[in-house]
Amino acid sequence: MKRVIRSPYFWSIALVALAVTAAWIGREGYRPVLAGAAAPEFTVTSLKGEEVRLSDYRDRVVLLNIWATWCLPCREEMPSMQRLYEAIGQEGFEILAVSIDAPMGKTDAAGRPGGDLKAFAHQYGLTFPILHNASGDIQRAYQTTGVPESFLIGRDGLIVRKVAGPTEWDLQVNQDLVRRLLDG
C-alpha cells in the first residue's frame, strides 16, 4: 500500500478525481450566457451617476450592447443602433449601451485611456441610454470575449439573440425580430 501512495500515477488519478468532483458539485454555478438562457441581472451607472439595473426594464424588449469608446467596430455599429432605436420607437423597447471604458483621466488594465462617454454620445447623436461599468462586472456576468457584444433580451428576460462583434442593427431582419418580440 505504501508503494501505491508514493506512485505519481496514484496522485494524478486522485487529483483528476478531485477536480471532477469539484466540477460536479459546482455545476449549478456555471450557466452559459447564450440564446435561450436567462439574462443575468446587472447594476451599472448612468451618465448622471444613477444606478441602473436590468430589472428596471422588466417587461420590455432590451438590446444590451457592451462596448468601449476605443473600439472601432463599436463606433461603426452605434449609428445603426440609433437608427433602430428611431425606427422602432421607445414603446416597450430599450437599448442599453454599457461602456466598459476606464473612468475619465484613468487607464484600464491594457493601458487604454478612459473615454468621455457624454462627448461620444453627443458626437454620434445617441438618444438611447449610455451606461458605464468600468469594473467590467458586466463582462464577467455575460461571459463576453471582447467588444462589441450584444444581447437581445425578450420581455420574459430570456436572451433571444447573442451577437459577438458589430452588426447593422437597423437591417430589416433585425427590425422585424424586435417587432415580433414586442408583439409577443
pLDDT digits (tens, 9 = 90+) for 5-24: 666 777 678 777 776 766 66
Per the DSSP assignment, residues forming a β-bridge with 150 are 65, 163
Q: What is the pLDDT of residue 91?
A: 86
Please state, for a pLDDT cut of 70, what percent of the chain lies above it: 89
CA angle 108, 112, 113 (to 5 degrees): 90
CATH code of domain 31-183: 3.40.30.10
Other CB atoms within a 10 A radius of the CB of residue 111 amount to 7
Q: What is the pLDDT of residue 23?
A: 65
Q: What is the pLDDT of residue 13?
A: 80
162: helix, strand or coil: strand
Does pLDDT of 80 surpass 70? yes
Domain limits of the chain?
A: 1-30, 31-183
The DSSP secondary structure of 80-125, one letter per residue, reads HHHHHHHHH-STTEEEEEEE-PPPTT-B-TTSPBPP-HHHHHHHHT
Question: For 147-161, how does the pLDDT look when each residue is reduced to its tens digit (9 = 90+)?
Answer: 999 999 999 999 999
Contacts of 74 by beta carbon, 8 Å cutoff, 6+ apart: 67, 68, 147, 148, 166
Distance of CA 28 to the CA centre of its chain: 21
Kindly state the cell numbers that stand for 55.
Answer: 430589472
Question: For 92-142, how does the pLDDT look when each residue is reduced to its tens digit (9 = 90+)?
Answer: 999 999 999 999 999 999 999 999 999 999 999 999 999 999 999 999 999
Lowest average pLDDT, out of 49-58, 66-75, 83-92, 151-160, goes to: 83-92
